[in-house]
């Protein structure tokens, strides 16, 4: 692994002006851990959609150009060589096999088409690698649930891949049962997973990845219903580090180094996720390391006036309310010079007052916002919380600046 890391670092330093300024030779693990971390803004500022930018190592002909969603800030452009795109699809095909997909399946791909999530492209090739039948349905926002369900019922898929929040809406609209399900792009709360699996008649497997990094992790049968993944170490080296020092830790921020990406190297990239190393291995016997995701780094907390609200505290406070799902969203707005916060939960029944009581009891600082009229709580039906590019961030800050 160290040899692969040293080789990609040397290539990046030699061919990319950006990395030539920031990388030093890697001869040991200590050398590597001393390298600077790559931020999302580094990609935004040094990679352009037209194929220019000093982070790139050469001309972009023979590549696939994809874009991140706007879920966590301005879009980022990623140039993938076709060989790299193929490796990403191979990882997705492995995820499908572990999820129970077979060549006999009719696989409906309901990821948003195009480059927003880029999964739509990879899933197409993954189905080809699997040798199954591809149903390239796609699902865009706003979602026409009735028409989408009608189409899927007509096509009779036996397996489906897509974003959980979109899949929930289709299930509410009468989506027929399938044999196998693979989801990506979001974490699934236990209550939502139970609802989805009961409705579809199949266990849900997850795949871990993003546009910048490609396919990072897959779930075997033993890891389903957890947030744990086998890391595809043939393609990536995944670190868990202390945010302050950048040094290895058992629990902390996730960094990704891509071992084969040459056109747009990715070295110690801050993927935006928190995680924990699992050193006990896995009962399935796969010789791949396991990590457990703990949420997004940028969804830790939000400051409204002098009140600091942590998303994890909201989740814990609401967990004991009967009939309330674990999926929620905190939205912060500015109106008439005043900051206001709205917290929406998915659930069943008239639970608004009960939820508000639970929040105020567990998070006393919210009383100040509630007394001034700056706090609003609502309970909506399952699947009704708005998404951004098919994904559901826990905190959405709509204040200017």
Please answer whether residues 241 and 252 qualify as being in contact, where contact means their C-beta atoms are separated by less than 8 angstroms: yes
Query: pLDDT (tens digit, 9 = 90+) per residue, 133-160?
Result: 999 998 776 678 899 999 999 999 999 9
Please answer whether residues 135 and 109 qualify as being in contact, where contact means their C-beta atoms are separated by less than 8 angstroms: yes
Q: What is the mean pLDDT of the chain?
A: 88
The secondary structure element, H or E, covering residue 22 is helix 17-22
Judge whether residue 113 has pLDDT over 90. no
User: In terms of C-beta density within 10 A (0-12 exposed, 13-18 middle, 19 or more buried), how is residue 48 classed?
Assistant: middle
User: Residue 328 pairs with which residues in a beta bridge?
Assistant: 345
Average pLDDT over residues 227-232: 94
Q: Where are the chain's structural domains?
A: 80-297, 300-397
d(CA 384, CA 401): 28
Average pLDDT over residues 103-125: 84
Judge whether residue 96 has pLDDT over 80. yes
Q: What is the predicted pLDDT for the residue at 73?
A: 60
The secondary structure element, H or E, covering residue 93 is helix 82-98
d(CA 329, CA 383): 12
User: Residue 342 pairs with which residues in a beta bridge?
Assistant: 331, 376
Torsion sign, CA atoms 192, 197, 203, 206: negative
E strand segments, 174-285: 180-184, 204-210, 214-218, 228-231, 236-241, 251-258, 269-278
Q: What is the predicted pLDDT for the residue at 35?
A: 95
Q: What is the predicted pLDDT for the residue at 320?
A: 75
Judge whether residue 336 has pLDDT over 80. no
Average pLDDT over residues 197-219: 93
| pLDDT band per the 50, 70, 90 thresholds, residue 392 | low
Residue-by-residue DSSP string for 334-370: EETTEEEEEEEEEESSS-HHHHHHHHHHH-TTHHHHH
| pLDDT band per the 50, 70, 90 thresholds, residue 233 | very high
Q: For residue 294, give the 3-state DSSP assignment.
A: strand
CATH topology of domain 80-297: Rossmann fold (3.40.50)
Torsion sign, CA atoms 261, 266, 268, 271: negative
Average pLDDT over residues 54-62: 95
Q: Which of 138, 166, 152, 163 is nearest to 106 (CA)?
A: 152
- CATH for 300-397 is 3.30.300.30
| pLDDT band per the 50, 70, 90 thresholds, residue 116 | very low
Judge whether residue 71 has pLDDT over 70. no
Q: What is the predicted pLDDT for the residue at 115?
A: 46
d(CA 266, CA 271): 10
Judge whether residue 337 has pLDDT over 50. yes
Judge whether residue 346 has pLDDT over 90. no
> Which residues touch 286 (CB under 8 Å, ≥6 apart)?
220, 230
Cis peptide before 142 (omega within 30 of 0): yes
User: Residue 140 pairs with which residues in a beta bridge?
Assistant: none
Between 21-25, 171-175, 329-333, 336-340, the lowest mean confidence (pLDDT) is in 336-340
């Amino acid at each position: 692994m160290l040899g692969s890391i040293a080789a990609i670092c040397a290539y990046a330093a030699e061919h990319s002006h950006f990395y030539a300024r920031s990388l030093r030779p890697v001869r040991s693990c200590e050398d590597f851990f001393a390298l600077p971390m790559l931020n999302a803004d580094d990609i935004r500022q040094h990679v352009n959609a037209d194929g220019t930018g000093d982070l790139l190592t050469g001309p972009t002909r023979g590549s696939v150009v994809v874009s991140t969603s706007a879920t966590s800030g301005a879009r980022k452009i990623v140039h993938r060589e076709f060989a790299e795109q193929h490796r990403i699809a191979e990882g997705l095909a492995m995820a499908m096999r572990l999820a129970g997909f077979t060549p006999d399946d009719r696989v409906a791909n309901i990821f948003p088409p195009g480059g927003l999530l880029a999964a739509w492209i990879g899933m197409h090739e993954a189905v080809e690698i699997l040798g199954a039948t591809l149903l390239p349905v796609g699902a865009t926002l706003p979602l026409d649930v009735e028409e989408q369900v009608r189409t899927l019922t007509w096509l009779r898929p036996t397996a489906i891949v897509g974003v959980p929040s979109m899949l929930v809406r289709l299930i509410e609209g009468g989506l027929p049962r399938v044999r196998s399900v693979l989801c990506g792009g979001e974490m699934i709360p236990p209550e939502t997973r139970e609802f989805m699996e009961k409705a579809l008649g199949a266990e849900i497997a997850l795949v871990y990845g993003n546009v910048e990094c490609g396919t990072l992790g897959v779930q075997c049968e033993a890891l389903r219903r957890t947030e744990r993944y086998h890391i595809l170490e043939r393609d990536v080296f995944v670190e868990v580090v202390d945010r302050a020092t950048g040094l290895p830790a058992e629990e902390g921020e996730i960094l990704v180094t891509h071992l084969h990406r040459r056109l747009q190297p990715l070295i110690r990239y801050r993927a935006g996720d928190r995680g924990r190393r699992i050193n006990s291995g896995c009962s399935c016997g796969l010789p791949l390391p396991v990590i457990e995701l703990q949420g997004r780094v940028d969804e830790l907390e939000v400051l409204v006036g002098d009140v600091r609200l942590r998303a994890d505290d909201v989740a814990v406070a609401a967990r004991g309310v009967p009939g309330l799902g674990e999926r929620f969203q905190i939205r912060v707005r500015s109106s008439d010079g005043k900051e206001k916060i709205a917290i929406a939960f998915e659930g069943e029944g008239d639970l608004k007052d009960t939820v508000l009581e639970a929040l105020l009891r567990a998070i006393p600082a919210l009383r100040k916002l509630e007394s001034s009229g700056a706090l609003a709580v609502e309970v909506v039906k399952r699947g009704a919380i708005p998404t951004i590019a098919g994904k559901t961030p826990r905190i959405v800050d709509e204040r200017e600046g």
